[in-house]
């Protein structure tokens, strides 16, 4: 049968029965499809967008491309000011349209890569929209208007999430979501970012480096309120250095002719801007999916699942953002893998020790497991080791000594319960951090492991040694 079933002509393509119907081709859906195919399950993935979902098409991949371009532009601008590295350049300029075209090329390559992986696994893809009629039946409308009915023994809901708007700031005109921000072809003169979480800060910092006048409006008393203050303080200092204005304990009220009305501790004021980026959170994308026909148990607007990602209806599963926090692609991928194996009859559960979280700000933040305050809130007596990157040779050679690596371990048996870092290039430490917790490492395990020199990763061993009371390089 053709890989692109919806490309056939005619008002109706009849019906088809499959073992597994996957609604949504994002990280959770396409991984479920690949793994199902590997396990020789007859599976179909339905999505109206190119394979990859929000993360690949309008989220993590394009945003990291923009962040990289902004970083490169900022480095060139710094060299033009004083040549601190001995590199002399004239004042740089940027053609954001060409930058976005480069970003789109990366996305398209990855789209084709995911489609190829599904084809290699023997899983079909239908380009269209699926609406559930019941727990085993979906009506699929192809991009060409053709329709067909699919019945399945198992249904996997992987419809992802979508940006939340504010009642006073509906999307449209100057009010944009992250989706529109990642498609701009001109750098805004003034940009107000409503929401000081990771999405708002990542994009706000990128546009500030590209030359926009950026203001962050955050309702809480500080930025990144879900991260502890030690991790966020270096980011706050970076915002100040970049000239980004941060209005905390403030809320967006309404649009003004030339910007946004903001209410804060000192009353109301108008912040000038030609673009207003709203990043106040995301909600489950369930509209037009027919979920209301199933009567599934929900949890604050998200689909409730058990430790195998099964919903309250037998043989109906859900993975990824549609199941709630943390809304991370790598969580969705693992859930997709677990569900495919569960359907194949393998003993499996989604029971991670921890899920790494990364904020791609300047500097970056990575957190796995419990921070010191969280550990104490859980009743744990912990010891903490912290190694400053100002003592790390590799950080010095990167001309970025801001930040630290931190290890949190139980005081009684030295079991590591959390690892965090803030600094340049620390996102790459997330793999080692996650592995250490998943494998049940103790301080001695990390301290006794030879870490390559010179690397930022040496900070992991040094922080473990610091917790043991014998750090070598501080």
> How wide is the angle at C-alpha 185 spanned by C-alphas 129 and 89, nearest 5°?
140
CATH code: domain 175-280 is 3.50.50.60
Total Cβ atoms within 10 A of residue 173: 9
Give mean pLDDT, residues 395-413: 96
Question: 3-state class of 156 per DSSP?
Answer: strand
177-199 core/surface letters (b: 16 or more CB in 10 A; e: else):
bbeebbebeebbebbbbbbbbbb
pLDDT at 13: 75
Domain boundaries, the chain: 5-56+100-163+283-343, 175-280, 357-468
Q: Helix (H, G, I), strand (E, B), or coil: what is residue 467?
A: helix
CA neighbours within 13 Å on the CB side: how many for 472? 9
Q: Count CA atoms within 13 Å of residue 261 on its CB side.
A: 9
Report, as residue numbers or ranges, the catalytic residues: 453
Whether the Cβ atoms of residue 369 and residue 354 lie closer than 8 Å to each other = yes
Q: Which residues of 269-306 are buried (b: 16+ CB within 10 A; e: fewer)?
A: eebebebbbbbbebbbbbeebbbeebebeeeeebbebe
In the three-class reduction of DSSP (H, G, I as helix; E, B as strand; rest coil), residue 350 is classed as: coil
- pTM value is 0.94
Secondary structure of residue 260 in the 3-state scheme: strand
Give me the half-sphere count of Cα atoms (radius 13 Å) on the Cβ side of residue 375.
21
Is 5-56+100-163+283-343's fold the same as 175-280's? yes
128: nearest Cα among 218, 39, 21:
21
Give the C-alpha separation, 14 to 21, whole Å.
16
Helices marked H in 213-319 — which ranges?
229-242
| Side-chain half-sphere CA neighbours of 206 within 13 A | 27
**Which whole-number Å values give the CA distances from 390 to 19, 84, 310, 371, 403, in the listed order?**
56, 18, 47, 21, 7
Q: pLDDT at position 11, please?
A: 64
Q: Among all chains, which residue has been given the structure tokens 């989604």?
A: 350
- The tokens for 97 are 């349209």
pLDDT on residue 85? 85
Q: What integer pLDDT is reported at residue 293 of this predicted model? A: 84
Q: Which two tokens stand for residue 119?
A: 């084809």
C-alpha to C-alpha distance for 311 and 296, rounded to whole angstroms:
7
CATH architecture assigned to 5-56+100-163+283-343: 3-Layer(bba) Sandwich (3.50)
**pLDDT per residue as tens digits for the range 85-137:** 888 888 899 999 999 999 999 999 999 999 999 999 999 999 999 999 999 99
Whether residue 192 contacts residue 273, with contact meaning beta carbons closer than 8 Å, is answered with: yes
Model confidence pLDDT, tens digit, residues 280-326: 999 999 887 898 889 999 999 999 999 999 999 999 999 999 999 99
Residues of the chain with pLDDT > 70: what percent? 98
Q: Alpha helix locations (H) across 89-213?
A: 96-121, 178-181, 198-209
Residue 7 has pLDDT above 80, yes or no: no
What's the token pair of residue 401? 């000594």
Nearest to 46 by CA among 162, 155, 136, 145: 155
Would you state the structure tokens that stand for residue 444, as one six-digit string?
Answer: 């001695």
Helix axes 60-82 and 198-209, enclosed angle (nearest 10)? 40
What is the chain's mean pLDDT, rounded?
95
Give the mean pLDDT of 211-224.
97
Give the three-class secondary structure for 90.
Answer: coil
Maximum CA extent, the chain: 74
In CATH terms, the fold of domain 357-468 is Enolase-like; domain 1 (3.30.390)
């Amino acid at each position: 049968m053709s890989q692109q079933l919806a490309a056939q002509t005619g008002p109706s393509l009849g019906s088809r029965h499959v073992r597994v119907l996957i609604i949504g081709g994002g990280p959770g859906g396409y991984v479920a499809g690949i793994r199902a195919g590997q396990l020789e399950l007859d599976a179909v993935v339905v999505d109206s967008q190119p394979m990859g979902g929000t993360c690949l098409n309008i989220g993590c991949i394009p945003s990291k491309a923009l962040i990289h371009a902004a970083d490169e532009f900022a480095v060139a601008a710094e060299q033009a000011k004083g040549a601190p590295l001995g590199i002399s350049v004239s004042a740089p300029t940027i053609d954001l349209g060409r930058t976005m075209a480069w970003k789109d090329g990366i996305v398209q390559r990855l789209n084709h890569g995911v489609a190829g992986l599904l084809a290699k696994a023997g899983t079909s893809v239908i380009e269209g929209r699926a609406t559930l009629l019941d727990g085993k039946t979906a009506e699929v409308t192809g991009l060409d208007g053709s329709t067909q009915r699919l019945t399945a023994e198992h249904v996997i809901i992987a419809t992802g999430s979508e940006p939340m708007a504010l009642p006073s700031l509906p999307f449209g005109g100057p009010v944009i979501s992250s989706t529109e921000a990642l498609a701009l072809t001109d750098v805004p003169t003034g940009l107000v970012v409503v929401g000081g979480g990771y999405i708002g800060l990542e994009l706000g910092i990128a546009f500030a480096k590209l030359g926009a006048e950026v203001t962050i409006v955050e309702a809480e008393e500080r930025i990144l309120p879900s991260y502890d203050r030690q991790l966020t303080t270096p980011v706050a200092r970076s915002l100040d250095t970049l000239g980004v204005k941060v209005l905390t304990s403030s809320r967006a009220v309404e649009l003004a002719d030339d910007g946004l009305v903001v209410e804060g501790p000192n009353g109301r004021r108008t912040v000038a801007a030609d673009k207003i980026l709203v990043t106040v959170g995301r909600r489950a994308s369930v509209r037009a999916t027919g979920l209301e026909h199933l009567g599934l148990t929900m949890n604050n607007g998200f689909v409730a699942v058990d430790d195998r990602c099964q919903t309250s209806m037998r043989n109906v599963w859900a993975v990824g953002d549609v199941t709630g926090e943390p809304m991370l692609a790598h969580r969705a991928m693992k859930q997709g893998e677990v569900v495919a194996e569960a359907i194949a009859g393998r003993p499996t559960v989604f029971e991670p020790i921890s899920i790494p979280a990364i904020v791609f700000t300047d500097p970056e933040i990575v957190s796995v497991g419990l921070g010191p305050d969280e550990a104490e809130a859980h009743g744990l007596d912990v010891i903490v080791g912290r190694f400053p990157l100002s003592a790390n040779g590799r950080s010095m050679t990167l001309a970025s000594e801001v930040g630290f690596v931190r290890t949190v371990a139980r005081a009684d048996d030295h079991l590591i319960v959390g690892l965090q870092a803030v600094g340049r290039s620390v996102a790459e430490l997330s793999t080692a951090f996650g592995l250490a917790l998943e494998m049940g490492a103790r301080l001695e395990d990390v301290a006794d492991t030879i870490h390559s020199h010179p690397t930022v990763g040496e900070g992991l061993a040094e922080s473990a040694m610091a917790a043991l009371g014998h750090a070598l390089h501080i």
